[in-house]
Copies of this chain bind each other. A is one copy, B any other.
């Protein structure tokens, strides 16, 4: 199975490069559908692409509401706005949830790799009290983790497989719609079209 590089991926990598002086350039907004049928939207951090693919990695806590939501409806749309280059990427696709109970050993390896890519300090957030529950105590948790220890049970990897990317450049006022199709041999192919902004 060959890999055809997604044509929007280089545009996104260029945007990341030209906005890399801004810490928040790796933040984007992830929209899902809530269990009540209403939209849900929050900022998350881009954790890179999975190897050479166009699949986007996100880390999250299994206890957050988005996990429940994605189990109910696996589709999501990223809105990623680059504040310095004035570029917007709307990336629509399906999300694969990979927690510690995943039966696929290859996926568990990707999860482990994503865990070790995090700084030991940032891994501690997964030991915090249950997100979204009432805050009970001001006392700092006494938490530490062996830097060589694998992912804790709360650590969850999300992999978004993009199906459509709507790119808008507000400086040039150009907009491109990238759409994927699946070829007969299961290869993802991309077409693009210039559309009105």
Contact = CB atoms under 8 A, between A and B. Distances in A.
Contacts of A175: 135
A83 B22 contact: yes
Given A29-B41, A37-B73, A41-B29, A135 B81 contact: no
A80 to B, nearest CB: 9
Interface in A119-133: 128-133
Contacts of A103: none
A2 interface: no
Interface residues of A, number: 41
A24 B77 contact: no
A98 B66 CA distance: 31
Contacts of A194: 134-135
Of the listed residues A130, A132, A175, the one surrounded by the most CB atoms of chain B closer than 10 A to its CB is: A132
A31 interface: yes
A195 B134 contact: yes
A75 interface: yes
Contacts of A32: 39
Contact of A130 (B33, B131, B196): B196
B135 A195 contact: yes
Contacts of A130: 196
B92 A42 contact: no
A77 B37 CA distance: 12
A193 interface: yes
B79 A43 contact: yes
19 contacts: A29-B31, A29-B41, A31-B31, A31-B39, A37-B75, A38-B77, A41-B78, A41-B79, A42-B79, A43-B79, A130-B196, A131-B195, A131-B196, A131-B197, A132-B177, A133-B196, A134-B194, A134-B196, A135-B195
